């Protein structure tokens, strides 16, 4: 595995980019939704 | 026949309801996320570690397991935006406008992945990061359409006007989709013709094709998951002052 990636920097960089884009698409809406819910709870309690 | 039509109409009307969608998506998300992740893991591990090397390209060809699925979903998402645009303009279904707003950034991100992974693949195989050939240029135009939709939406304060404007733009941009698909046949391009064919025999070895198909399936499942999540967030933004949403938040849904 290490050999495959160390000899193929191009492949490694595409793998990283794919993981970053997938994680971004998963985490970003979660953060935004939780922020909205938190704000709503704050407003409800005050 | 009437029963089928009736249930389709009922589903269509339910789909237009924010509370119904928010509630059903929270039930669908755990299983679809698990499925998408497991299938992605299977496809990517099979493709990168267990499929044979390419005779001419060696190991670098394995970029195909990310490049092709990304390009495929990027085009499919835009096609779905064009359909949603049509639905919004004809039937004024508010969920269709919300769909365009939620899916455009996801489509843009996958187009960026397709373009950048293609450039990284092109450097060692073609000897250049970028050429202005028909496939690459039309895919860049696709990205510009996505960015235009995102930009146009945020330039309006009124959500209805914004939904209308992006619906028109989404439909206009659909003209680019057959150009992307047929660019390698209509013009002499550095980009190779498609290896996966539906009506003819594929030009790619089956040992490479199966993991590639699994990767493509997993990307579509992931787009489904990301789409559900983005639409839930957009619904929350639009409905945060409504009672049904406050009740959902209290129930921790």
Whose CA is closest to B233, among B146, B41, B103, B66? Answer: B103
- The one-digit pLDDT tens for each residue of chain B (253 residues) are 788 888 888 888 888 889 999 999 999 999 999 999 999 999 999 999 999 888 888 888 999 999 999 999 999 999 999 999 999 999 989 999 999 999 999 999 999 999 999 999 999 998 999 999 899 999 999 999 999 999 999 999 998 999 999 999 999 999 999 999 988 888 888 888 777 777 777 778 888 999 999 999 999 999 999 999 999 999 999 988 888 888 888 777 6
| Both structure tokens of B105 | 């950034």
Query: Domains in chain A: how many in total?
Result: 1
B147-154 own/partner pairs: CB under 8 Å, 24+ apart? B147/B108, B148/B173, B149/B81, B149/B100, B149/B104, B149/B173, B150/B104, B150/B105, B150/B108, B153/B100, B153/B101, B153/B104
Return the residue of A nearest to B220 by Cα. A22
Q: How far apart are CA B130 and CA B132, in angstroms?
A: 7
Partners of B58 in beta bridges: B54
Contacts of A30 in chain B (CB under 8 A): 229
Interface contact A26-B232, CB threshold 8 A: no
B239: closest chain A residue by CA: A36
Contact B174, B82 (CB under 8 A): yes
Contacting residues of A for B146, CB less than 8 Å apart: none
- Domain containing B168 equals 67-194+205-238
Q: Are B22 and B253 in contact (CB under 8 A)?
A: yes
Question: B26: how many CB neighbours lie within 10 A of its CB?
Answer: 15
Q: What is the pLDDT of residues A1-46, one digit of tens each?
A: 666 766 688 999 999 999 999 999 999 999 999 999 888 888 877 7
Domain assignment present for residue B170? The answer is: yes
* pTM for this predicted structure: 0.92
CA distance A18 to chain B (A): 7
The count of domains in chain B is 1
Q: Which among A4, A14, A22 is the nearest to B120, CB-wise? A: A14
CA dihedral B53, B202, B37, B109 (to 10 degrees): 100
CA distance linking residue B183 with residue B189, whole number of Å: 8
Place of tokens 């455009």: B104
Per-residue confidence (pLDDT) for residue A1, from 0 to 100: 65
Only one residue has tokens 């990307």, namely: B219
Under an 8 A CB cutoff, do B120 and A1 touch? no
Give the pLDDT score at A7: 67
CB count within 10 Å of CB B152 equals: 16
Amino acid A6: pLDDT:
65
- Cross-chain residue pair A32–B63, CB shorter than 8 Å: no
**Alpha-carbon distance A44 to nearest alpha carbon in chain B (angstroms):** 9
The answer, for A20 touching chain B at a CB cutoff of 8 Å, is no
pLDDT of res. B44: 95
Interchain proximity A21–B121, CB inside 8 Å:
no
Q: What is the pLDDT of residue B4?
A: 85
One-letter-per-residue 3-state SS of B137-191: HHHHHHHHHHHHHHHHHHCCCCHHHHHHHHHHHHHHHCCHHHHHHHHHHHCCCCC
CB contact under 8 A, B240 and A4: no
Judged by a CB distance cut-off of 8 A, whether residue A1 touches chain B is: yes
Q: A22 vs chain B: nearest CA distance in angstroms?
A: 8
Q: Which domain holds residue A20?
A: 2-45
């Amino acid at each position: 595995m290490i050999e495959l990636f160390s000899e193929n920097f191009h492949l490694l960089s595409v793998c990283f980019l794919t993981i970053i884009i997938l994680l971004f698409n998963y985490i970003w809406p979660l953060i935004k939704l939780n922020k909205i819910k938190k704000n709503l709870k704050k407003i409800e309690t005050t | 026949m009437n029963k089928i039509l009736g249930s389709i109409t009922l589903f269509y009307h339910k789909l237009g309801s924010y509370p119904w969608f928010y509630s059903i998506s929270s039930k669908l998300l755990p299983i679809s996320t698990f499925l998408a992740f497991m299938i992605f893991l299977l496809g990517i591990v099979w493709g990168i570690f267990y499929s044979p090397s390419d005779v001419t390209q060696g190991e670098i060809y394995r970029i195909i397991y990310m490049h092709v699925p990304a390009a495929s979903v990027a085009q499919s998402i835009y096609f779905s935006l064009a359909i949603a645009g049509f639905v919004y303009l004809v039937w004024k279904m508010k969920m269709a406008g919300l769909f365009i707003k939620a899916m455009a950034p996801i489509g843009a991100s996958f187009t960026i992945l397709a373009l950048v992974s293609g450039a990284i693949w092109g450097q060692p195989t073609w000897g250049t990061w970028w050429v202005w050939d028909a496939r690459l240029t039309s895919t860049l135009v696709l990205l510009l359409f996505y960015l235009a939709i995102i930009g146009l939406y945020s330039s309006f304060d009124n959500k209805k006007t914004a939904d209308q404007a992006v619906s028109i733009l989404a439909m206009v941009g659909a003209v680019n989709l057959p150009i992307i698909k047929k660019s390698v046949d209509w013009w002499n391009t550095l980009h190779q013709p498609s290896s996966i064919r539906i009506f003819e025999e594929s030009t790619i070895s089956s040992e490479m094709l199966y993991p590639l198909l699994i990767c493509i399936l997993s990307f579509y499942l992931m787009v489904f998951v990301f789409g559900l999540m983005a639409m839930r967030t957009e619904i929350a933004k639009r409905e945060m002052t409504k009672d049904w949403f406050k009740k959902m938040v209290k129930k921790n849904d």
